[in-house]
Amino acid sequence: MNKIPCSVYIVTLNCGAWLERTLQSVSEFDEVIILDSGSTDNTYEIAQSFENTQISHQDWQGYAGQKSLALAKCRNDWVLNLDGDEVLSSELKQEIVETIQQNRLDALITPINDVFLGVPNSKHTKKHAKVRFFRKSKGHYDLANKVHENVIVEGESQRAQHDIYHYGESSIFVKVEKNNQYSNLKALEKYQKGKSPSVAKLILVMPVTFMKSYFIRRSFLNGWRGFVNSMINAFYAFLKEAKLFEQTMNKDKNK
């Protein structure tokens, strides 16, 4: 069987719980490059069991920096980025094959289906989407982004019809822990870019984000999980603004 002429790159840290499913979903691709930042679980053992996969260590450089280094190791003109807790759907894999064959686009903007508490989103929920598949020569990362890094594509993109499934939000505890970490990074990023905190935003961001998540993005279709998820999303937005106030306050104290 001919391999799909595309490199997959993944950054990992203790992703053993999901990695086998991740790598199985891309076993038909030419190569998989894993850049690991110090796993102590069975991440290496799983990676080494797949013949198309190479894994190596790299001290953590930040989300954008780490992915940029992994991207640089890819040998193919086409590349696909997955996280170590994500699975490529067979339908999206077929879209990727067709995009390579047609050779018309430079990137696909792929919907991310968050499997929250073990259940995927309703098919009618509006999903977040990111560039994950693109021509290597046309895409790069903005290294100033400390979290929620995006590929910047200089070319023609199109939204994909099918999903990448994200399994990492396996519990409320895990999601809240991630949001606490990400809000630290996002507040620092805003502070370093010279953004000022806003009292109005601090007051309004939580209810506005909840309304957007629950109603506009139609999380209400996911039942009680959708309500919980929207509440956590709203609190995450609040934390980013509150921590920006904290950064500014600490700066004033040190003057």
Burial of 202 (0-12, 13-18, 19+ CB in 10 A): middle
Q: What is the pLDDT of residue 104?
A: 97
Binned at pLDDT 50, 70 and 90, residue 59 comes out as: very high
> What average pLDDT does this structure show over 42-69?
97
Please count the structural domains in the chain: 2
The whole-model pTM stands at 0.93
> What average pLDDT does this structure show over 119-124?
95
Q: State how beta strands 139-141 and 151-153 pair.
A: antiparallel
pLDDT tens by residue, 144-170: 888 889 999 999 999 999 999 999 999
For the cut 90, the answer to whether the pLDDT of residue 233 exceeds it is: yes
Q: Are residues 156 and 198 in the same domain?
A: no
Q: What is the pLDDT of residue 255?
A: 58
CA nearest neighbour of 141 among 78, 75, 70, 65? 65
Q: What is the pLDDT of residue 129?
A: 97
pLDDT more than 70, % of the chain? 98
Which CATH number belongs to the domain containing residue 33 in this structure? 3.90.550.10
Q: What is the pLDDT of residue 173?
A: 97
Q: Is the dihedral of CA 230, 236, 239, 240 positive or negative?
A: negative
In sequence order, what E strands does 76-230 have?
A: 78-81, 86-88, 107-114, 128-135, 139-141, 151-153, 157-159, 164-166
Q: Are residues 30 and 8 in the same domain?
A: yes
Chain centre to alpha carbon of residue 4: 23
Q: Are residues 78 and 107 in the same domain?
A: yes
Q: Are residues 133 and 211 in the same domain?
A: no
Average predicted confidence (pLDDT) for the chain: 96
Q: Are residues 157 and 180 in the same domain?
A: no
Cβ–Cβ under 8 Å, residues 178 and 114 = no
Q: Are residues 119 and 212 in the same domain?
A: no
H-run or E-run covering 224 = helix 223-253
Could you give the angle at the alpha carbon of 25 between the alpha carbons of 104 and 113, nearest 5°? 75
Q: What is the pLDDT of residue 254?
A: 66
pLDDT tens by residue, 172-201: 999 999 999 999 999 999 999 999 999 999
For the cut 70, the answer to whether the pLDDT of residue 90 exceeds it is: yes
Question: Given 137, 166, 195, which residue is the final one in a domain?
Answer: 166
For the cut 80, the answer to whether the pLDDT of residue 47 exceeds it is: yes
Contacts with 254 (C-beta within 8 Å, 6 or more apart), sequence order = none
> What average pLDDT does this structure show over 210-214?
98
The greatest distance separating any two alpha carbons of the chain, rounded to the nearest whole angstrom, comes to: 65
> What average pLDDT does this structure show over 24-44?
98
Note down the domain range covering 136. 4-166
Q: Are residues 50 and 115 in the same domain?
A: yes
Q: Are residues 156 and 248 in the same domain?
A: no
> What average pLDDT does this structure show over 227-250?
96
Q: What is the pLDDT of residue 158?
A: 97
Question: Given 121, 151, 166, which residue is the final one in a domain?
Answer: 166
> What average pLDDT does this structure show over 93-99?
98
